[in-house]
């Protein structure tokens, strides 16, 4: 490759990366479940935090979490959220089927700058699965909703993924709940600043490659 061709190739690669980063930044943030500390253990109990962003055009006024009946969870406690009321749905035998938060005056504002968190404890967690899915409906002030209920089965994330909590094998030493930082990978709150930093690096790289070079004196 000639000396003149290499800078052109570099510019093309950098521009392609910049386009990819810009496209990734437009993806809609979704409802996610987080655990603070070690993953909760199978058959134990866990404290789960549901993080709800709002990138729509309407305020979020209701959150409905479905607890699959096959998990046989019988005890749930919700942490109070100012301005929101919580209701726990149960089936025959006391098995928890749903957790619903509703507000009339503390809605999550629309746009890409706001989110809220809804915490609850659950037990006993199922002992026959490696993770639990918590399909969640995000309902807006105009009555429309987003149903975060799709299970990821391959490498590609579905359009409306359900919140997921991974379960650890029983240790036999504790109830299996944690209390510090989320154990899941980077979320949209981390990915957006990281993508911005990479984009800035790409832009400076393009500028450096496109600046005219001084010719050395003959």
Is the residue at 206 inside a domain? no
Is the residue at 3 inside a domain? no
pLDDT digits (tens, 9 = 90+) for 171-213: 876 454 444 333 344 444 444 444 555 555 544 554 555 555 5
Is the residue at 24 inside a domain? no
**Which among 139, 59, 143 has a CA at the least distance from the CA of 107?**
59
**Which among 118, 146, 125 has a CA at the least distance from the CA of 50?**
118
Q: What are the structure tokens assigned to 81, written together?
A: 């959220």
Counts of helices then strands in the chain (DSSP H, E): 2, 11
In eight-state DSSP terms, residue 217 is P
Domain extent for 92: 29-180
Question: Which residues are CB-neighbours of 5 under 8 A, at least 6 positions away?
Answer: none
Predicted TM-score of the model (pTM): 0.69
CATH of the domain at 167: 2.60.40.2230
Is the residue at 197 inside a domain? no
Is the residue at 87 inside a domain? yes
Count up the domains in the chain and report the number: 1
Is the residue at 69 inside a domain? yes
pLDDT digits (tens, 9 = 90+) for 49-93: 999 999 889 999 999 999 998 999 999 999 999 999 999 999 989
Is the residue at 149 inside a domain? yes
Is the residue at 72 inside a domain? yes
């Amino acid at each position: 490759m000639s000396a003149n061709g290499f800078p052109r190739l570099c510019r093309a690669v950098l521009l392609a990366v910049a386009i990819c980063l810009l496209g990734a930044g437009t993806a809609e943030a979704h409802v996610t479940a987080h655990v603070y500390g070690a993953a909760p253990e199978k058959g134990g109990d866990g404290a789960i935090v549901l993080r709800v962003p709002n990138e729509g055009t309407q305020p979020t006024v209701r959150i409905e979490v479905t607890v699959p009946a096959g998990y046989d969870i019988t005890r749930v406690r919700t942490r109070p959220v100012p301005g929101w009321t919580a209701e726990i749905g149960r089936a025959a035998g006391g098995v928890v089927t749903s957790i619903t938060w509703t507000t009339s005056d503390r809605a999550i504002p629309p746009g890409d700058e706001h989110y809220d968190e809804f915490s609850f404890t659950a037990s006993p967690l199922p002992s026959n699965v490696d993770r639990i899915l918590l399909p969640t409906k995000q309902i807006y002030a105009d009555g429309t909703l987003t149903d975060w209920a799709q299970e990821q089965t391959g490498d590609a994330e579905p359009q409306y993924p359900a919140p997921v909590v991974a379960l650890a094998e029983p240790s036999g030493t504790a109830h299996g709940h944690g209390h510090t930082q989320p154990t899941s990978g980077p979320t949209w709150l981390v990915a957006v600043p990281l993508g911005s930093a990479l984009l800035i690096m790409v832009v400076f790289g393009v500028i450096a490659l496109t600046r005219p070079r001084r010719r050395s004196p003959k």
